[in-house]
Structure 1
Amino acid sequence: MFANRKCPICGSPVKGRSDKRFCSTKCKSINQYENRGKTEGFYLKVDRQLRINRKLLKKYNRSGYTTIRKSELIGEGFDPKFFTHYWKNKKGDVYLFVYEYGFLGKKANDKEKFVLVMWQDYMEG
């Protein structure tokens, strides 16, 4: 009755329940892995980089406010293009945040640096 069904991965006949789509668990797994790569690849890349950024900001900002050379942070895998939100102070400086850890790019003595800060309650408003 269902002999015409073919596995979309390998083309083998599919036997069993009428709603079964794959001939084996191996083909089902291959399909899930391939589809995951297409649909979640971008999400996984962004999420991975956000976790790396947060870890590095936390590592170098134990006091709540510090300055570090930009090259040092980037050398460890930090990517300033990945952040969760921003905050603009009264001077017009825009701090980029990765969750509760923020950074601001500055140039001092011809060296590019990041000012690292922690999210504060007054930043809400």
Structure 2
Amino acid sequence: MVMKECPNCGEEVMGREGKKFCSAYCKSNFHYQRNKEKESSLFKKIDKQLKLNRRILKNYNRAGKATVKSSDLFQHGFDPKYFTHYWKNSNKQVYLFCYEFGFLLQRDAKGIEKFILVQHQSYMN
């Protein structure tokens, strides 16, 4: 008879051959913890990027409205694919928001990409 150790708690596993866990609780807890780590890594990545985007937008938009070259935001790690919600103005332009800070990508007359930065206002609801 081979003695096995429970991968969750380290206790001795007793019972049938091939049994891996000492109890149903340990089996459930082991798989819960393993899946929780897998899931949370995606959520942590998204949350980290959203917070970074917000911090960058806040830094560049101290007056409530600003225009910034896209390269300036990108060099700090800004990623426009991560946003919390959007707002469409009367001209059908869609501003993407990262919490209370919004941005709209546009090209100027010379073809340079710039972001128009705004801060959420009550009329944007």
TM bracket (short chain) = 0.7 to 0.9
Residue 104 of structure 2 corresponds to which residue in structure 1? Answer: 104
| Cα shift at 1:72 | 1.0
- Check the 8 A contact 1:14/1:21 in 2, yes or no: no
Q: Which amino acid aligns with 1:76?
A: H
- Check the 8 A contact 2:95/2:104 in 1, yes or no: yes
| Cα shift at 1:60 | 0.3
Structure 2 regions of 5+ residues with no counterpart? 15-21
Query: What is the percent sequence identity of the aligned residues?
Result: 47
Mapped partners of 2:11, 2:23: distance in 1: 15
Mapped partners of 2:86, 2:23: distance in 1: 52
Residue 21 of structure 1 corresponds to which residue in structure 2? Answer: 26
Residue 7 of structure 1 corresponds to which residue in structure 2? Answer: 6
Mapped partners of 2:39, 2:47: distance in 1: 14
Mapped partners of 1:106, 1:18: distance in 2: 60
The total of aligned residue pairs comes to 112
Residue 60 of structure 2 corresponds to which residue in structure 1? Answer: 60
Instruction: Name the CA shift for 1:11/1:115 in 2 (closer, same or farther; >3 Å).
Output: same
Instruction: Name the CA shift for 1:12/1:18 in 2 (closer, same or farther; >3 Å).
Output: closer
Q: Which amino acid aligns with 2:119?
A: M
TM-score (norm 2): 0.77
TM-score (norm 1): 0.77
Indicate the RMSD between aligned Cα atoms, in angstroms.
2.8
Mapped partners of 1:20, 1:106: distance in 2: 56
| Cα shift at 1:12 | 6.3
Mapped partners of 1:111, 1:18: distance in 2: 63
Mapped partners of 1:94, 1:20: distance in 2: 50
